[in-house]
């Protein structure tokens, strides 16, 4: 029995280096992207992550057009495009009455259309699917170093600005009355979101990296009642999803990126139903109630 | 610092507004340190706008607000903008009041937790530390926001309609807290609608109808003729209204000389400043 479990759960990683690299990359990504996802969700920007993922496309495409399927130019291009869109949308929402979701939609749609045009210049749809869906099983040293770097920067920045980001999400007006740090923290945070999206796109692709960012956060929401535990739990869920997804992909010969995201989706659905703040607990009438 | 102690806040021909329409029009005067002043006036008379202008959420169209250097301000807005579905407990929300002390990176100390509990006790919410925000009633949330103001230990406290949707007993509790702030030497400026409450509990009042109508001892300020004068203003904007120009103005009556005089050689070009 134990031997069987070992064979199913551990063996693939023990045996194949590419599986170990994939696992390491995905775990680092979960450690970095999941807390960012928690803040995105709490700031009502869950879909902004999706928008930003699209926004990265023209930059990555430009890098791809000029240098082929190389990680560095595509990453730099993606960062630039993502930063432009995030800053543009953030500035519009801070300076005008338009809310961030609308300005983000406007910017990312322009960006996405541009990206698709750019990629079609080059031709084959195989290339496009590589950009969109990534290849976690083919992570080279360069890609792993990139993800590790993104992780380090993200965790450091979150540690420093945690209190400001929390206050700006909970009561932005209060933060504005005691400090001017709200706006810079917000832009820095948008930068982190872009950075993680770019870090993830080599492994999971631009579209699926949003999945690893948002689904664990959304699932953790049903369990935790305070911010920090929620972030830690999201990281845990992201890591379990990465491990389970890679195994699924190995045993059932599924594409690895979608398998990871589907695993996170399964945990989300279970949380939605069974967690303390999920459907059953909130809608099933309590059998009794206290006298006070 | 003596300057600081005497006039924490003064207005210098201050005009605040939206899209070049004034909501607070040519306000001049000063707050005394340790004073407790009610800001009264009809809807749209500029009360909330004045508070926003003091905090800096709104830039003046012309004139200026002078704040004593180093003055610590606490501001309780009319609509708090708090997301009650945020995963936080009451101690997290009230703990935000430690920001002026601890800032972004300052480590929370053990005594901070005691301070949060003490503030909650002071507003009658002892034992509510671990309650999540979405389980609180409107009145409890308002008390919690007062607790946060306590922690801020501010010199100047601005309260925008703090008694909105709050029952009579809670008003009495919060009112005694405000009076205690005054006794501690803090300056308090509160927007209040209940004129009887103002007459009974507030030493001073500032009556606005976009322009300053009267500013002085509460009973004096809320005399019938002043209230009548305050009622005679149009809430609606007039897009055809002429640009504001210097005009001779009768001196405002009242014992207090709050210096509501225009400097008449001053150019009143709101458009240019906006």
The pLDDT confidence band at residue A129, using thresholds 50, 70 and 90, is low
Distance (Å, rounded) from C-alpha A82 to C-alpha A71? 16
Distance (Å, rounded) from C-alpha A149 to C-alpha A27? 13
* Of A162-176, A226-240, B79-93, B95-109, highest mean pLDDT: A226-240
Pick the more confident residue, A267 or A114. Answer: A267
* Burial group, residue A196, by CB count within 10 angstroms (0-12, 13-18, 19+): buried
The neighbour count for residue B28, using CB atoms within 10 Å, is 18
Distance (Å, rounded) from C-alpha A171 to C-alpha B80? 7
The pLDDT confidence band at residue A127, using thresholds 50, 70 and 90, is low
Q: What is the pLDDT of residues B34-55, one digit of tens each?
A: 999 999 998 888 899 999 999 9
Average pLDDT of the segment spanning B262-268: 41
Nearest to B80 among A167, A171, A176 (CB): A171
pLDDT over threshold 80, residue A73: yes
B63-74 burial, b for 16+ CB within 10 Å, e for fewer? bebebbeeeebb
Interface test with B, best of A177, A181, A185 (most B CBs within 10 A): A177
| Counted domains in chain B | 1
pLDDT over threshold 90, residue B75: yes
Nearest to A173 among B80, B87, B100 (CB): B80
What's the domain range around B213? 1-33+40-71+203-274
DSSP strands (E only) in chain A: none
Distance (Å, rounded) from C-alpha B200 to C-alpha B171? 13
Asked if A160's CB is within 8 angstroms of B105's CB, the reply is: yes
Distance (Å, rounded) from C-alpha B139 to C-alpha A191? 38
If DSSP codes are grouped into helix, strand and coil, which group holds residue A134? coil
pLDDT over threshold 90, residue A115: no
The pLDDT confidence band at residue B179, using thresholds 50, 70 and 90, is very high
Distance (Å, rounded) from C-alpha B253 to C-alpha A156? 61
Distance (Å, rounded) from C-alpha A27 to C-alpha A235? 9
Average pLDDT of the segment spanning A159-186: 90
Query: What pLDDT, on the 0 to 100 scale, is given for residue A29?
Result: 93
Q: What is the pLDDT of residues B187-229, one digit of tens each?
A: 999 999 999 999 999 999 999 988 899 999 999 999 998 998 8
Interface residue B243 vs chain A (CB under 8 A): no
Interface residue B93 vs chain A (CB under 8 A): yes
pLDDT over threshold 80, residue B239: no
Average pLDDT of the segment spanning B9-35: 88
Average pLDDT of the segment spanning B96-124: 88
Query: What pLDDT, on the 0 to 100 scale, is given for residue B273?
Result: 37
Interface test with B, best of A174, A224, A227 (most B CBs within 10 A): A174
Domain assignment of residue B130, yes or no: no
Asked if A160's CB is within 8 angstroms of B83's CB, the reply is: no
Domain assignment of residue B95, yes or no: no
Pick the more confident residue, A245 or B138. Answer: A245
Average pLDDT of the segment spanning B124-140: 89
Q: What is the pLDDT of residues A256-281, one digit of tens each?
A: 888 999 999 999 999 999 998 888 88
pLDDT over threshold 70, residue B234: no
pLDDT over threshold 50, residue B147: yes
The pLDDT confidence band at residue B260, using thresholds 50, 70 and 90, is very low
Average pLDDT of the segment spanning B125-132: 91
The pLDDT confidence band at residue A14, using thresholds 50, 70 and 90, is confident
DSSP state of B20: T
Average pLDDT of the segment spanning A18-45: 92
With a pLDDT cut of 70, the percent of chain A lying above it is 92
Query: What pLDDT, on the 0 to 100 scale, is given for residue A86?
Result: 84
Distance (Å, rounded) from C-alpha A212 to C-alpha A30? 7
Query: What pLDDT, on the 0 to 100 scale, is given for residue B96?
Result: 92
If DSSP codes are grouped into helix, strand and coil, which group holds residue B255? coil
Domain assignment of residue B139, yes or no: no
Q: Judge whether B54 and B197 are in contact, CB under 8 Å.
A: no
In chain B, the residue whose alpha carbon lies closest to the alpha carbon of A176 is: B57
With a pLDDT cut of 70, the percent of chain B lying above it is 85
Asked if B99's CB is within 8 angstroms of A170's CB, the reply is: no
In chain A, the residue whose alpha carbon lies closest to the alpha carbon of B131 is: A225
Interface test with B, best of A41, A163, A181 (most B CBs within 10 A): A163
Domain assignment of residue B168, yes or no: no
The pLDDT confidence band at residue B251, using thresholds 50, 70 and 90, is very low
The pLDDT confidence band at residue A183, using thresholds 50, 70 and 90, is confident
pLDDT over threshold 90, residue A133: no
Average pLDDT of the segment spanning B95-123: 88
The pLDDT confidence band at residue B253, using thresholds 50, 70 and 90, is very low
Q: What is the pLDDT of residues A218-251, one digit of tens each?
A: 999 999 989 999 999 999 999 999 999 999 999 9
Q: Which helix (H) or strand (E) holds A194?
A: helix A182-220
Sequence-distant (≥ 6) Cβ neighbours of residue A18 within 8 angstroms: A137, A138, A139
Average pLDDT of the segment spanning A173-189: 88
Domain assignment of residue B185, yes or no: no
Average pLDDT of the segment spanning A45-65: 82
Distance (Å, rounded) from C-alpha B123 to C-alpha A92? 40
Asked if B104's CB is within 8 angstroms of A177's CB, the reply is: no
Q: Judge whether A208 and A260 are in contact, CB under 8 Å.
A: yes
The pLDDT confidence band at residue B265, using thresholds 50, 70 and 90, is very low
Quote ipTM for the complex. 0.81
Q: What is each CA distance from A278 to A117, A273, A281, A283, B238, in whole angstroms?
A: 43, 5, 6, 8, 52
With a pLDDT cut of 90, the percent of chain A lying above it is 35
Average pLDDT of the segment spanning A58-73: 80
Beta-bridge partners for B211: B25, B209
In chain B, the residue whose alpha carbon lies closest to the alpha carbon of A41 is: B86
Domain assignment of residue B88, yes or no: no
Domain assignment of residue B51, yes or no: yes
Give me chain A's average pLDDT, please. Answer: 86
Q: Judge whether B28 and B260 are in contact, CB under 8 Å.
A: yes
* Burial group, residue B188, by CB count within 10 angstroms (0-12, 13-18, 19+): buried
The pLDDT confidence band at residue A132, using thresholds 50, 70 and 90, is low
Distance (Å, rounded) from C-alpha B211 to C-alpha B188? 21
Query: What pLDDT, on the 0 to 100 scale, is given for residue A47?
Result: 81
Query: What pLDDT, on the 0 to 100 scale, is given for residue B101?
Result: 84
pLDDT over threshold 90, residue A130: no
The pLDDT confidence band at residue B256, using thresholds 50, 70 and 90, is very low
Domain assignment of residue B103, yes or no: no
Distance (Å, rounded) from C-alpha B141 to C-alpha B132? 11
Interface residue A70 vs chain B (CB under 8 A): no
Distance (Å, rounded) from C-alpha A290 to C-alpha A247? 46
Domains within chain A, CATH numbers bracketed: 2-280 (1.10.3470.10)
Long-range own/partner contacts, residues A11-16 (CB < 8 A, 24 or more apart):
A12/A246, A12/A247, A12/A250, A12/A251, A13/A246
- Lowest mean per-residue pLDDT among A147-161, A162-176, B226-240: B226-240
Average pLDDT of the segment spanning B95-99: 91
Q: What is the maximal distance between C-alpha atoms in chain A? A: 71
């Amino acid at each position: 029995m134990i031997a069987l479990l070992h064979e199913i759960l551990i063996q693939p990683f023990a045996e194949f280096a590419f599986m170990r690299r994939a696992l390491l990359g995905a775990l680092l990504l979960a450690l970095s992207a999941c807390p960012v996802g928690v803040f995105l969700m709490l700031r009502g920007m869950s879909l902004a992550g999706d928008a930003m993922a699209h926004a990265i496309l023209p930059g990555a495409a430009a890098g791809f057009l000029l240098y082929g399927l190389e990680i560095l130019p595509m990453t730099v291009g993606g960062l630039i495009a993502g930063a432009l869109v995030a800053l543009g949308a953030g500035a519009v929402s801070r300076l005008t009455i338009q809310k961030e979701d609308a300005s983000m939609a406007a910017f990312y749609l322009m960006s996405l259309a541009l990206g698709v045009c750019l990629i079609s210049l080059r031709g084959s749809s195989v290339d496009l699917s590589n950009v969109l869906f990534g290849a976690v099983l083919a992570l080279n040293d360069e890609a792993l170093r990139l993800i590790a770097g993104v992780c380090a920067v993200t965790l450091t920045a979150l540690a420093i600005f945690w209190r400001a980001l929390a206050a700006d999400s909970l009561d932005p007006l209060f933060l504005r009355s005691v400090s001017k740090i709200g706006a810079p923290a917000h832009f820095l945070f948008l930068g982190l979101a872009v950075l993680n999206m770019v870090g993830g796109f080599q492994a999971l692709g631009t579209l699926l990296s949003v999945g690893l960012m948002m689904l664990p956060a959304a699932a953790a929401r049903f369990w935790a009642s305070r911010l920090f535990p929620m972030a830690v739990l999201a990281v845990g869920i992201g890591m379990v999803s990465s491990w389970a997804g890679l195994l699924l992909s190995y045993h059932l010969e599924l594409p690895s990126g979608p398998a990871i995201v589907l695993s996170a989706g399964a945990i989300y659905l279970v949380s939605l139903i069974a967690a303390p703040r999920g459907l059953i607990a909130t809608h099933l009438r309590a059998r009794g109630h206290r006298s006070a | 610092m003596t300057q600081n102690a005497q006039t924490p806040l003064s207005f210098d021909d201050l005009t605040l507004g939206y899209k070049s329409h004034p909501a607070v029009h040519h306000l001049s005067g000063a707050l005394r340190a340790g004073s407790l002043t009610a800001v009264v006036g009809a809807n749209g008379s500029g009360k909330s706008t004045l508070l926003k202008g003091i905090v800096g959420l709104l830039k003046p169209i012309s004139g200026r607000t002078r704040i004593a250097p180093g003055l610590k301000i606490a501001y309780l807005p009319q609509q708090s903008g708090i997301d009650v579905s945020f995963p936080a407990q009451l101690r997290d929300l009230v703990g935000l009041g430690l920001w002026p002390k601890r800032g972004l990176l300052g480590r929370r100390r053990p005594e901070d937790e005691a301070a949060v509990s003490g503030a909650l006790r002071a507003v009658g919410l002892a034992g509510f530390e671990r309650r999540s925000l979405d389980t609180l009633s409107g009145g409890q949330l308002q008390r919690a926001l007062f607790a946060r103001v306590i922690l801020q230990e501010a010199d100047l406290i601005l309260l925008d309609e703090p008694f909105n949707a709050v029952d009579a007993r809670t008003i009495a509790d919060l009112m005694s807290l405000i009076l205690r702030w005054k006794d501690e030497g803090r300056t308090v400026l509160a927007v209040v609608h209940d004129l009887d409450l103002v007459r009974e509990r507030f030493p001073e009042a500032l009556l606005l109808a976009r322009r300053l109508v009267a500013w002085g001892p509460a009973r004096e300020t809320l005399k019938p003729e002043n209230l009548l004068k305050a009622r005679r203003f149009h809430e609606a904007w007039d897009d055809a209204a002429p640009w504001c120009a210097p005009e001779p103005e009768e001196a405002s009556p009242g014992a207090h000389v709050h210096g509501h005089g225009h400097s008449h050689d001053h150019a009143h070009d709101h458009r240019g400043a906006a």
